[in-house]
Every structure is written in C-alpha cells, then in structure tokens.
Structure 1
Amino acid sequence: MIPNLILLEARIRKELDQLEKLQDELKTLAKLKEQKLKSVKLRAYASILHDFYSGIEKIFISIAREIDQVVPKSQGWHRDLLEQMTLDIPSKRPAVINDHLLGELQQYLGFRHRFRNLYGYELEWARMEPLVRDLVPTFSEFKDNLETFLDLLTEIQE
C-alpha cells in the first residue's frame, strides 16, 4: 500500500472510533428521564448531531486531500465535498459512499448548517428527532461504506 494511504486509513479508523463514542453519548442522553425535553438536553442532542456530521466530514476531507488531491473551495464546499464522495474516479478511487447514504448525510449536513447559524433556544425537537433516531443506523451504513472503500483501496494498491 502507498505510504500516504496507510496514513489515510489510520486517520479514517481513528475518526470512526470517535464517531462510535458519539453513539455512546447519544445512548446515555436518551436514557435521561424527563417529562419533556429541556433546553440543556436539546442542546446536547444538537451538539452530538453537529459532531457526528463534522467527524464524517473530516474523513471526507482526508480522502479528498490525499487521494483526489482536490478539496472543494467554493461557497457551497460542504455540499460539493459530500457529493464528491459519491463519485467513482477512474485510476484514483472508487466511490466512497452510495447514493442512499448521500441522501441521509445531506440531512445531517443541513442540520449542521442550521446548528451553526441558530441560537440554542431556537432549536426544534421536531426537526432534530428523526436525525437523532436515525443516527445509529446511518453511522452503521456509513461505516459499512467506508470498510468497503478501504477494502477496495487495498485491492487497487496490491
């Protein structure tokens, strides 16, 4: 395997471990017993959702930098980067994620943007609840896509 691909794989695996820890935090938060969501709990969920997508984006940036050698710089670079990960780039790499996962991750990207541009008291549970509910299965699909991607990279390099 090419040396920088070994480093890339190490970075991806480290970030996957960090994302696993977020799931544990999410489970702990969900166990808190309250009659209704209070501001602190709502903000905690929002922070986990934000961190979840930010961790995924770190992986995508590493792939774009190390393999594609192009990290989007446009005004909508976050969206462009996400879409770049669905591309099969001949002689460089296979697609990192499938189209179904793209749709799922677009929702987390949208939330990340809102989270960064709202005050915490403006957060709405009704908009966050589906993302919180779907975080674990979305992460599972993401991890499966990444494992397939890493396996294909290894095959290409051999």
Structure 2
Amino acid sequence: VTAVEDREFIEIAMATTLAEVYEGIENIFERIAREVDMDLPSGAEWHKKLLAQMTERRAGRPPVLSQETAVLLGELLDFRHKVRNIYAEELIYELIEAHAKTIHALFARVCADLDAFAAALAQQDENA
C-alpha cells in the first residue's frame, strides 16, 4: 500500500504517459494529413477532425485506420483532453486504469492499421 501522495503521483504519471501515447500517434496522423492528403484540419475541433480524416478514403490513398481502431482512439483522445485540461486531482483512477489496461492492444491495432496502410500505398506505387 502506498501513501496517498505517492498514489496521486503514480496516477498523474500514468495519465500523462497515456496522453503522450495518443500525442505520438497523432503526430503520425498529422504527417499523413500534411504530406499525403495536403489537408491538415484546423479550428477548435481539429484533433477530432484529424482522427476522422484518418478513417476516410482520400484521393490517392486508402483509409489509414479502421473504424474500430478510430473509435478506440477517440476514447483515448477524449481522455487526453481531460488530462491536459483539468486539474490532476480531478482525474478518476478507474478511468486511468481502464486505459492503461487496454493501451497495449490499442497500440497493436494502430500498428496493424498503419502497416496495412503502408502496404496499400506501396501496392499503389507498384501499379502506377
């Protein structure tokens, strides 16, 4: 059993790390939007628009993400928003724990979707 202060520190560290995982994945999406789509969303809802854009078939490319992966990432995006915009003591441990328990599987899904996306782009290049 850890002291209350230690537990809060651990919870904040976990929440911050989970938020950073989303931000790292989002950086990949930003690069695809800029370099492949030539269309990076802007405005107040740009994070959500970018995630939605990654599920769309666009000129010259297939969808980057499956709908299922995008739904799970949307939950992590909402969590990231809470981590970045509320006081740490307002975070609910059960929510942090739920994301921590599923992050490995989510990351594997994202990697599989990105691998499929890259393979589809390579196939398009071969056929061109």
What TM-score do the two structures reach when normalised by structure 1?
0.75
Root-mean-square deviation (CA), in Å? 1.6
One of 60, 65, 78 as aligned partner of 2:29: 60
Report what 2:98 is aligned to: 130
Q: Tell me the distance in 2 between the aligned counterparts of 1:112 and 1:89.
A: 27
Report the residue type matching 1:108 in the other structure. Answer: L
1:109 maps onto 2:77 in alignment:
yes
Q: Tell me the distance in 2 between the aligned counterparts of 1:104 and 1:131.
A: 10
One of 39, 42, 46 as aligned partner of 1:77: 46
The number of residue pairs the alignment matches comes to: 125
Report the residue type matching 1:136 in the other structure. Answer: H
Q: Tell me the distance in 2 between the aligned counterparts of 1:128 and 1:107.
A: 12
Could you tell me which runs of 5 or more consecutive residues in structure 2 were left unpaired when the two chains were aligned: none
Report what 1:157 is aligned to: 125
Could you tell me which runs of 5 or more consecutive residues in structure 1 were left unpaired when the two chains were aligned: 1-32
CA deviation after TM superposition for structure 1 residue 52, in Å = 0.6
What TM-score do the two structures reach when normalised by structure 2?
0.92
Q: 4+ residue stretches of structure 1 with deviation over 4 A?
A: 33-37
Identity of aligned residues (%): 33
One of 38, 41, 52 as aligned partner of 2:10: 41
Report the residue type matching 2:21 in the other structure. Answer: F
CA deviation after TM superposition for structure 1 residue 34, in Å = 4.3
Report the residue type matching 2:94 in the other structure. Answer: A
For residues 119-144 of structure 1, give each alpha carbon's deviation from its aligned partner in whole angstroms, at most 9, with x where no partner exists. 11221111222111100000001000
CA deviation after TM superposition for structure 1 residue 74, in Å = 2.1
